[in-house]
Structure 1
Amino acid sequence: MMALNHPAIVNLVSKLRQIQFPIHSGCAGVCLISPECTGILQCPISAIETRQHRRPTCVKGNAPMNRRWRPVVFLCALVVSNTVMAAELSHTQIEDTWQDSSQKATNILSATDLAHARLWGLSETEWRRYKQLMQGIRGSISPATISPIEVLGIHARDDAERQRYAEVWARAMYEDAGRILAFQHAYDAATKRLYPNVSLIDISRLPGKTEVNNTFQPGDRLLFFARLDCPACDLLLNKLLKRIFEVSGIDIYLTDVDKGDDRAVRDWASNHQIDPDWVHSRRITLNHDGGALDKLTQGQGDVPSVLRRRGEDISRLLVSEL
């Protein structure tokens, strides 16, 4: 049943109320039910609006005219009710049919999909799930070459399913590796047969042997010039200390310490964790600069600087060589 407050019924009521039915001039309303217009009666229009309608006293001579209009009112209401219900039912059926058709179209695999599923050894259900997963995060972040087996394995719903896809993928990779090696062997044999006197690699174009890095030799002595408060000096010192056993020793010169201020030199050595044994064995010496850097570099030396003494020769080393 259609609700009495349905928009179509309410609209019909509004129009019927505008019809000027013949009534006695002394009647304030229209009654379509009884020739007796006195008292509280249930009028069809009032019933539709679900309320009681009190009629004033009406002249009895007009009652036959009211009875003549009553079938018309009910017939109109019945026609509108059936029309609206039929329209709603038709609309619902169309929506259901569209949803069913859409779902069936989604579930139907194309001939190409079926062929790909067979190549990968997957069922139609598995292939549908693979395509669905590729519509989400997997298709957004994974490379286009990811295989359906990997997708299904990554999104496995339980351990057993994950293990099954892992084994399928392991067998596929093992078999593919065998095919690749077999082809490589065939290629090598074909090359030897077709081009027996041609070398695949032109040895003459290969770069020569790289010279051995001989920045340090066991007899070398390093001269390191630094300041007390110098982060760059500290970094360079750490590099030198790591290679201290590649040379005979390191002579450290502090350029900003007054001559005779041995305490400042000792404090600096302690703060930089200079091993006292190295100092006692003269593997490391601590010195005041006293202008040594300017003399050795003709005034071109910057702090920090590293000089290498090899025999009678003294040369400056770049940081990149250390």
Structure 2
Amino acid sequence: MSNRARWMGVILVLVLTAPVCAVEVSGTRANETDTSVSATIKNALTPSELARSRAWGLSETEWQCYKLLMQGIRGSVSPPTISPIEVLGIHARDEDERRRYAELWARAMREDVDRILAFQRAYDEAGKRLYPNEQVIDVSRLTTRSSNTSALLPDDRVLFFTRPNCPACDALWGKLLKRIDEVAGIDLYIAGVKPGDDQAVRAWAIDRGIDPQWVRNRRVTLNHEAGVLERLTQGKGEIPYVLRRRGEDVSALWASEL
């Protein structure tokens, strides 16, 4: 076989195995997509892959596309935790595909935040029910001013008390957001919303650029304030208010220290 023929063979393989997959949209285009993909992808999904594809709301064809894309540059430059929907959306061939995957991802993120908020509420209620006479934070150890020269350390958690329609709160949140990588996490307590109104809490978080991934890994927690600030500060704290938890010690954190 000549070198030219050999190179032509390589090029043909690359073309046939390239991620030409597309969303299964209605009409002739979907059928054409299925036909082209079926002709180039022969391996059936394993039971595990089939279950995962269904969990993500994707077809077998789309899952095969996702697998192909992850074998290329996408798998090299993206974190292992990138979702199949994000992969397919990034590599969408046109606006219709991109819009569809964006909507799938938006719905998935919203449903996930709903679940997280529901569990957080159940956790708070369980704590009150199981340990009614215990406080999460020992108020006796609450100092009026930070006593450590280092305002924030990697193992610290920050408790931020805020509310909607509060410019001072948003300004302080902007400072905290810039330092989120310097601490173990930030626990947000949202006041000024109806008890149990998770939609209002979610809207507040979205408007202020809180990444859903932070909420999923508890780098950020979303909580209803529900009088927590008054209990922790014995009625002396006013929103916006920031506390720093370092080990068992809790202290007020002032804006000038951020």
TM-score, normalized by the shorter chain, greater than 0.5: no
TM-score bucket of the superposed structures, by smaller chain: 0.3 to 0.5
Q: Greater Rg, structure 1 or structure 2?
A: 1
Tell me the TM-score normalized by structure 2: 0.42
Tell me the TM-score normalized by structure 1: 0.34
Higher RCO, Cα 8 Å, sep 6+: 2
